[in-house]
Structure 1
Amino acid sequence: MNTSIVIADDHPLMLRGLTDFLTSKGYNIIGSAQDGNAAYNLIVKLKPDIAVLDIRMPHRTGLEIAEACKKNHLNTKVILITFDKEEELYDKAKEFNVFGYILKEFAIEEIETCIEHVINGTPYFSEEIASYLNASNLAQRPEVINSLTKSELKIVKLISESKTSHDIAEDLSISVRTVDKHRSNIVAKLGLDNKPTSLSIWANLNKNHL
């Protein structure tokens, strides 16, 4: 593959893991760094097609590097890897033309898909982040919880306890099909997307209010 990539992460194991993984997949890794200043200097010097950056690094964060790339009209497309799910960081990433935003715990699973999207000019944002933000935006709205029926509240409470549809069906002595129908109705009422994780995330965010 001719696409050139620079990787930066202040955690040596993560840096080595990503580098080794992408190298094994045939990607052209032309440089790596363990802090933000070194990463930005590599981008300026080597002009890689893609920079895979930890969002939190010493001296300069991944977001600050993305901002500098935008300000200085550098063509390198930035992919951020993070543990953070804060909406403010997500919004800033989009403001600074970040092309990829994935969670660290899923980095190895998602990085190749993310890079392929970016190569094709399509931004890639982790579904886990999008689901979390979608659920989080509704977390503090009591009227949303009040819209649920008693049966639906029971199901949401069990979902917050990490119970599967089969577990819930057994606990409530109803069919799995009925549980799934309730889940579908709950998702619609809450205005969540249809990703499998959205309702679980919402239930966990609101478990103290159920």
Structure 2
Amino acid sequence: MNTSIVIADDHPLMLRGLTDFLTSKGYNIIGSAEDGNAAYNLIVKLKPEIAILDIRMPFKTGLEIAEACKKNNLKTKVILITFDKEEGVYDQAVEFGVYGYILKEFAVEEIETCIRQVKIGKPYFSEEIATYLKASTFDKKPEALKLLTKSELKIVKLISDSNTSQDIADELSISVRTVDKHRSNIVHKLSLDNKPTSLSIWATLNKKFLV
């Protein structure tokens, strides 16, 4: 069965355009909304695999919906579409467990790639966002990298290339359990939180230092 999706945007043209585009590509759009309350109610009622949400909407923002989904343990994976490049907004998205973060001007170009990644549990962030954040925040090699062993560095490098724990286990000829133990140690050494996407995002944004 195809991926079930709910879309919400308070701009009718953007909403219609994205809905028509994804429908034409064979995706199963099971609901759409023009404000945050309606969007959250659809997520609770329909339990879509993915919710594509504008960040700035009446009643509830996309970030507030993501926060509510996390707080109530809803399994729907949230993708945010936005014009915002502010670091604070991005940090909130990461904190609330958002899986995808796409700039509106690239939404049609990137949305299919984003959905494919998110569907298999891999976070996806617009290259423009990653580039912007690297330039503004990630231009120095993190001191914490010195705390990692050679094995841990190799695993972080593989994570930055969007490999799953199973992929890494196969690549290094070790068990998934061992990979997960390494991941836990890395998260601790880097002082990251335990959200599923935090290490992946950190590795992606610091990829240039993982040589």
Q: Give 2:75's aligned amino acid.
A: N
Q: CA deviation at 1:138?
A: 7.4
After superposition, give the CA deviation of every residue in 1:22-46 in whole Å (9 maximum; x if it has no partner). 0000000000000000000000000
**2:62 aligned partner:** 62
SS in 2 for 1:130: helix
Q: Gaps spanning 5+ residues in structure 2: where?
A: 140-205
Aligned to 1:49: 49
Q: Which residue of 1 aligns with 2:90?
A: 90
Tell whether the 8 Å contact from 1:4 to 1:49 is kept in structure 2 after alignment: yes
Map 1:123-162 to 2 at 5 A. Answer: 123-137=123-137
What amino acid sits opposite 1:137 in the alignment?
Answer: T
- Distance in 1 of aligned mates of 2:207 and 2:31: 38
SS of 2:109's equivalent in the other structure is: helix
Distance 2:10 2:136 in 1: 29
SS in 1 for 2:30: strand
Q: Quick check: which has more Rg, 1 or 2?
A: 1
Q: Do 1:134 and 1:193's aligned partners in 2 also have CA atoms closer than 8 Å?
A: no
Matches within 5 A, 1:1-210: 1-137=1-137
User: How far is 1:133 from its partner?
Assistant: 1.4
**8 Å contact from structure 1 (residues 100, 125) kept in 2:** yes
Give the 3-state SS of the residue equivalent to 1:74 in structure 2: coil
Measured in 1, the distance between the counterparts of 2:115 and 2:138 equals 31
Q: Distance in 2 between matches of 1:107 and 1:34?
A: 17
Q: Structure 1 length as normaliser, TM-score? A: 0.65
Cα distance in 1, alignment partners of residues 53 and 32 from structure 2: 10
- CA shift digits 1:93-121 (9 cap, x unpaired): 11111000000000000000000001111
Counterpart AA for 1:45: K
Q: How many residue pairs get matched?
A: 142
User: Is the 8 Å Cα contact of residues 49 and 75 (structure 1) preserved in structure 2?
Assistant: yes
- CA-CA distance at 1:193 after TM superposition: 7.4
Alpha-carbon shift at residue 126 of structure 1 (Å): 0.7
Secondary structure (helix, strand or coil) at the match of 2:21 reads helix
Deviation at 1:4, TM superposition (A): 0.4
Instruction: Quickly say closer, same or farther: Cα 1:193–1:123, change in 2 above 3 A.
Output: closer
Q: Provide the rounded CA distance (Å) in 2 between the counterparts of 1:8 and 1:67.
A: 16
Q: CA deviation at 1:2?
A: 1.9
Report the RMSD for the aligned CA atoms in angstroms. 1.6
Structure 1 residue 136 displacement after superposition: 2.2
Percent identity (aligned): 81
**How far off its partner does 1:137 sit?**
2.9
